[in-house]
Structure 1
Amino acid sequence: MKLFQSIFGGGEKIGAYPESLIKMATERAVDGTDSRLRLLPGYAKRLRKPVIRAIDHVVALVEGIPAPVAATRNSYSAEPRLAALFSSAPEMLNIFSRDPKLAAFLSGLGGGAVPRVTALLLAERMEKRTLGMDLVGDQVRHDVQQTVVNFNEHRIVDPNTSEADMRRQLMRRAFDHLLSLALSRIAEARVERADLTRQRDLLRRKLTTLERGGWGFDAQEGEHPDPATLMTELDAITAQLGSIGSDAGVLRAHLDIVAEFLGEADGQLLTDEITLYLDPMNIQRDARDPSARRIVLQELRNAQGRTAVMLPIAIAPTELPPREDFVTAAQRYLY
């Protein structure tokens, strides 16, 4: 299950990495894209500089994430970012309680109570133009154009009992996201030969399997299988790729893609700071409007144009309502 474990030990400093980390990152780059790259002589040398640049980038990216904010019932009203992301404190806590990653983490503690869980909250930001009611001068008008900012698809990644462990996992996630982008490019290559078409389809299956396992920052769809099941699928895909054989020219092209994506990591995955001025209804206002709250958020963006607002949070598990199972919820609506 090494593809679902972190290679980072914590405390990494830019430009001062142990050789063991560089080697593990290189092998992870191969395992996470096309393991047949090991058939090429000198693959590790070709990837060394790109791997180091990628490590530099993910370490800097994670170091740039601010300290977690308390996401509790009492802190909600005092923290404008939470008030923008959630309509109320109860809604926030309900969303947390339904999150599968957080639930799996808490259940893995063996029922032991922990006072605080640190995690990264991700959400999709949507802006909608609409006509609404507003005060214009001294008159109330009902046809005023407004922009409403909504946040949805809330999800929690890398929950941990310590902030240091969360950041270590985030470095792994950011590095893996770069690999998933490279694998996506490899799988998109146009091919004509039947054996290469089969190879492309297998690489696409590998990408889908890794995404189901929570690689990267994108929202997961469908079920959330355990790592052991996913590794069985990945091993089967690797075996099928090996049975197809290897074309040195194709593998060299794959190696170049991996080296390119890692070497240009700062352009593949980056963060932007966004500033919004929102009233209590999440309607955009002028900065001078007395009803406007100044909201400063970080938004994660990749080279494919996907974005997600991110906010590190500290959750008090004792505040979370019981997680309702689907059977109980269905019975409530049916009877």
Structure 2
Amino acid sequence: MLSFIQSMFSSHSGTEKDPIAAAIEQAVEGTDPWIRGVSGYKKKLRPAAERALAYLDEQVDGMAPSLSLEPSGYSADPRLRAFFISAGALRKVLDSDPCLADYQQKQGKTPAYALLSMIKQEKTVFGAAMTGDVILHDVAQITVSFENHHFFAPSESDQATREKIKDLAFERLLHLALKRISILKTECAGKERRNALLQANVGLQQHLRRGMDDSPHIAVPVQDMAQAQLCRSLPENAREDRILDAYLEILRDVLIRPEDHLWISRESIIVDRMGIKRREVQGDASEVPLNMLSNSEGRSHAVSLVTLPR
């Protein structure tokens, strides 16, 4: 598991023998290296790292066997017909994908396996439909299509591709944690600026009062008062003396509950050769199983392990 993580930290003492330790170091390096300043950070993050890696193993190893993207099999496979509008479109995706091209340039050969990612689109259209022997017109129908095809994690074996997918998924969890840490950093920086502004206003008011007893009252602007109130509403752990603990807790929270941030759900659709969604399998309508990869930011992609034509 996570061979990429191990290779990154093979020069660190002991981490090449302990993928959990390597994952912890990658997590800290990928979010905020200053987290290493927290006493016992490795011990505090270890249960979360173990949970994240076990979860990714479960999710990726549970994906269906790879789908062959051989264009000659297009007509016979309902999944290929659903994912691509034609055999020619399939060939175009294979020939133009930058990830596959980069792999071929570096390795000198075409990869055998990869992860295919697509965006599933559903649209309502109006067309003809049969009800018994009667043809009805302007019937609302749902069409299903797949767009933005991209390949990831190309390799020479199914297992190697799955390991690369786990690495990418772990990096995605770190990206989500980094975004949360960045938000907290922005809030803390704003808090410091607002406190300095408030103190400057109060100091100026006191100075003028000492110099001129009859001077008008100089009030702190309403906007600055609102900002000061916002400062006070920030969480206590955003204070400077505990900020590294707050960063570590954000990272730990993401890794200990990976299922809240990244997940693969399984569903199926029934579509005919025109891409129209049907209620049951009959005629030219076939069932197409899907793996939907989703994250806590609201993004969702259809994904499939694939074997590539050589």
TM-score, normalised on structure 1? Answer: 0.71
> Using a 3 Å threshold, how does the CA distance of structure 1 residues 262 and 67 change in structure 2: closer, same or farther?
same
* Correspondence 1:184 to 2:182: no
Report the equivalent of 1:325: none
Match of 2:82 in 1: 84
Aligned residue number for residue 261 of structure 1: 254
| Among 22, 26, 36, the residue aligned to 2:24 | 26
AA matched with 1:71: L
For 2:283 and 2:183, the matched residues in 1 are separated by 50
The alpha-carbon distance between structure 1 residues 316 and 195, as it changes in their structure 2 partners (threshold 3 A), is farther
> How far, CA to CA, are the matches of 2:6 and 2:306 in structure 1?
21
Determine helix, strand or coil for the equivalent of 2:138: strand
Highest Rg: 1 or 2?
Answer: 2
Question: Which amino acid in the other structure matches residue 86 of structure 1?
Answer: F
Identify which of 115, 127, 144 aligns with 1:132: 127
**Shift in Å at residue 23 of structure 1?**
0.7
Judge conservation of contact 2:281–2:287 (CA < 8 Å) in 1.
Answer: no
- The AA in structure 2 aligned to 1:83 is R
Within 2, Cα distance between the matches of 1:80 and 1:137?
25
Unaligned runs of at least 5 residues, structure 2: 8-14, 194-238
Structure holding more helix per residue: 2
Which residue matches 2:295?
302
- TM-fit CA distance, 1:8: 5.6
Cα distance between partner residues in 1 of 2:150 and 2:144: 18
Partner in structure 2 of residue 106 of structure 1 = 104
In the alignment, which residue of structure 1 is the partner of 2:55?
57
Q: Whole-Å Cα distance in 1 between the matches of residues 192 and 182 of structure 2?
A: 10
- Counterpart pick for 1:141 among 110, 113, 136: 136
Aligned counterpart for 1:282 among listed residues 262, 275, 281: 275
Amino acid at match of 1:120: L
1:181-233: CA deviations, max 9, x gaps? 11122223351535979xxxxxxxxxxxxxxxxxxxxxxxxxxxxxxxxxxxx
1:93 CA drift (Å): 1.4
* Unmatched runs of 5 consecutive residues or more in structure 1: 10-16, 198-245, 318-335
Match of 1:249 among 233, 242, 248: 242
Q: Confirm or deny: 8 A CA contact 1:8 1:172 kept in the other structure.
A: no
Aligned Cα root-mean-square deviation (Å)? 2.3
Q: Percent identity?
A: 30
Partner of 1:44: 42
Does the CA contact (< 8 Å) of 2:271 and 2:287 recur in 1? yes
Equivalents in 1 of 2:100, 2:288: separation in Å? 26
Q: Distance between the aligned counterparts of 1:185 and 1:161, measured in 2?
A: 36
Relative to 1, partners in 2 of residues 1:18 and 1:63: Cα closer, same or farther, differing over 3 Å?
farther
How far off is 1:291 after superposition? 2.8
Which residue of 189, 195, 205 corresponds with 1:193?
189
Distance across 1 between alignment mates of 2:71 and 2:290? 20
Residue equivalent to 1:225: none
1:303 Cα deviation (Å)?
1.7
- 1:151 is the counterpart of 2:146: yes
Flag the 1:8–1:144 CA change in 2: closer, same or farther, 3 A.
Answer: farther
Letter in 2 for 1:174: A
The whole-number CA distance in structure 2 between the counterparts of 1:81 and 1:8 is: 36
**Contact between 1:134 and 1:142, CA under 8 Å: does it hold in 2?**
yes
**Residues 189-228 of structure 1: pairs in structure 2 closer than 5 A:** 189=184, 191=187, 193=189
Distance (whole Å) between structure 1 residues aligned to residue 17 and residue 252 of structure 2: 18
Q: Call closer, same or farther: CA 1:135–1:164 in 2, change over 3 Å.
A: same
Q: SS in structure 2 opposite 1:285?
A: coil
Post-superposition offset of 1:137: 3.0
- Match of 2:107, SS state, is coil
The runs of 4+ residues in structure 1 deviating greater than 6 Å are none
Residues 266 and 89 of structure 1: CA distance in aligned 2, closer, same or farther (over 3 Å):
same
